[in-house]
Structure 1
Amino acid sequence: MTQSSSEDRRPRESQITAEPAIVDQCQKDYRHGIAARSTAYRQMHRAGATNPS
């Protein structure tokens, strides 16, 4: 087994926390997620979920 260097064990910066939340970007992300949420809702409904909300 190989030893990892201390550099390999440091936490990596997350892109999510590295970028500030901007209202315009959040709204844009929400609008782009409409299709994904709709698809997920239909899939859960087909799978028999009683209240997929």
Structure 2
Amino acid sequence: MSKKPRPSITPAREPNSIVDAPATVAACRADYAAGADARAAMAKQAARQRRS
């Protein structure tokens, strides 16, 4: 019995969704880059809290 090759599927990425796909270096880099705006917003919020 031969194994069928697993098809290469790139799931649609939506905000706040969990994707069941193997982690790859490219996917991890894309996720990290996409999170830059969220990290900046959290840093601004933390700075405002420190000032008040």
Give the structure-1-normalised TM-score.
Answer: 0.54
Structure 1: 5+ residue runs without aligned partners? 1-14
Give the structure-2-normalised TM-score.
Answer: 0.55
Quote the sequence identity (%).
32
Aligned with residue 43 of structure 2, among 41, 45, 52: 41
Partner of 2:24: 22
Give the number of the structure whose alpha-carbon radius of gyration is greater: 1
Partner of 1:4: none
> C-alpha separation between the residues in 2 aligned to 1:27 and 1:46?
29
> C-alpha separation between the residues in 2 aligned to 1:22 and 1:28?
10
Ranges of 4+ aligned residues in structure 1 off by more than 2 Å = none
Question: How many pairs align?
Answer: 34
